[in-house]
Structure 1
């Protein structure tokens, strides 16, 4: 049997990782400045993280949600404390797409309505409803398409108002990323966020904030939307939540009432996943990684802002988009092949996307900075 060939792959096979570095099967060392799509939040194989997982493996790794699991309670309490959402509830699942699916379902259960507003440039996942609110026709199969899902242009307040005027009694939810990641590190305007909050409140519409990529301390706040001092009704999380172990979740406003069987999952919130999630939160808190994200992000921006070919730098913390004046594919390949640094791309072909671990150091950042400078100067 062969693998189903859906991924464009670099000819690199990592076999070892530590901190912000990877080693391939030939012992070649690479700097990881992308974190596997923002998943590696506290660095590869962090010793505290490893210890917590090993300890849990020696006890119990899995049982279903038909029994009590006090690790879920510990995770919820620590997440509430560090995020400032102590009065919200937590539903645990396995991925960002699953969190999106359950958030959209929960919103519709709550208000009995069925239409959803999403935004151009968005990415919320590849499963049924999640891909329907993702702005990429290539990955929306005919079975996923429905007129229930209404696209609004990003930061277009007039269009947003018109959509609400036309469909206000039918809209169940609006879903928006705290910062668009796949879209190219695109920041929402203050006007968009406050307009959304007002329109949703006035029309009994649920505001879902997708913080799967922009959350968990990456932007210098625990969640990107906290820059605007608002509280969405539902917040989806995943990626950096488990530092590589599959885990996702939804933070749920007190306005929602739980009932037996309303939501469910086989693997979500299992013992190993919770151990990983608890370890991540402990490290973020104990090592002040939210502050470090802003400190090192600012350091990188200041160092590269005068480099040639850079049109714009969009950044919050360590969520960084470098828009070049040309497609970045060849530059990205040179950074990888000549300087052994992993970076990311986006749906905008000109944008280089950076999502390093939150505990990256200035010394490690300099390796990327020097690589980018060398490639751009010799391009």
Structure 2
């Protein structure tokens, strides 16, 4: 069987999410926790305007999820440690015979960050989701997360050296070994290696450089790159360096990338330091794009315009995302698309729903 991970622009059967549950990053006060519930709910309902949403809910949060989410969002129960389903769930792929597959990466808390991360329950989440989705499980021994890869659906994959080559994830593996596994599981024929991610991603609750915070490919041969135009922010130098790397790289067809800057909002700092706010961390849905919003009307509008041009024919919707970013990720990080295929059952088993 040959597997290929389709681009996010491929038609979706649904989007998967995970409802927040108390842990190290959720918040210590009632107001902080309620802000997280509201943020996740807002994203779920925005996505549901375009395609079905299935929310994975920890059994202990079942009543709260039912109350907060309201109608229109399907719920399915499984014990959770965290709620970044892009990373803890599977990466969906399609077989050359049309069947749905689900890559079960090894998850170890973003490189074994045992001082705050827990993954006893999340380690089995990919297998659970695969079964619920009717997907064939594609096993892998690579420690990886869905937010650490971006594909164009035509064989090109973006990754970062500080994730896949992280000694806390894959000690002893070199580029060739990683590339071979990405070829087997995702159909990658070209891997573009970026040296690193954003500055804040190396602080507590960071992932050590996830690519979905810095770059994505809206179409083959094109990269949307986070741009930090203010020299006062350390990511100004980072994003300029990344642009140079991408301009020197090629995709699976051998052509150079057309790199499009996607500038971040004007805010440089929050209470914790330099922000990692960006518009690259968006979700493509059927007929639309769900974009992060930061309360910066001018920058949010500029991002919508760039995204609308990059994804022609799709309606771009902005959803307030500061409460999500404050916990370590964005809208792309809390969602996972399941590609549509006539060869598989798109909906979870009704008997397993909450």
- TM-score, normalised via structure 1 length: 0.26
**Normalized per residue, which structure has more strand?**
2
More helix by share: 1
TM-score by length of 2: 0.27
Greater gyration radius: 1
